Chains A and B, each alone.
Chain A
Amino acid sequence: MLKYFMRYKPGWWILHITAISLTFYLGHMMTFTF
């Protein structure tokens, strides 16, 4: 299991988890009023 995680550097994981979290957060907070 660990070898699959070690395939990429920690920075790669941090970057991707941050980007995905930000995407979910933005999707949650966006409201459009007209």
Chain B
Amino acid sequence: MKKNTLLTALFLLAVSGLMLHFRIHNFMVADKLNLGSFIFDRSKFMATLFPLIDAVLVTALFMSRKTAVYGYLLNGLIVIYGTIFMAHFSIAEITTKSIPFPSLLLKSTLPDVGIAWVDFLVGKALYDLYMKG
């Protein structure tokens, strides 16, 4: 069934995003002043929270035809937030680390933004399928 395939793809993309954010920049950051202790980073926590909402709530909303429209809306909102914050993150990193501007293409989060939009498009395909059938 097409629906289950798309729903699985949507869930796997969200879970993979969650795991990557959790591993690459965990919200518990090592405190440089007090060795062995950790500080809670709100911005990095958001990077974990949004994929978590994407994996749990968006998948749950997309399970039923009635709530699919809200899932589509929330999925779109999360992807737009992801695009803006990942772009902001890259621009901030490039400025602080003085990375040459042309390397923005490969060393930035541009490929990750692309993956986030795949998540949106899978959601769109699923929503269109619900509305058609």
Contact = CB atoms under 8 A, between A and B. Distances in A.
Interface string A1-34: 0000000000000000001000100100111111
Contact of A34 (B77, B81, B88, B92): B92
A32 B92 contact: yes
Contact of A19 (B77, B88, B93): B77
Contacts, number: 24
Contacts of A32: 43, 88-89, 92-93
Q: Interface residues of B: mostly helix, strand, loop or mixed?
A: helix
Interface residues of B, number: 13
Interface of A: 19, 23, 26, 29-34
10 contacts: A26-B81, A29-B43, A30-B88, A31-B42, A31-B43, A32-B89, A32-B92, A32-B93, A33-B41, A34-B97
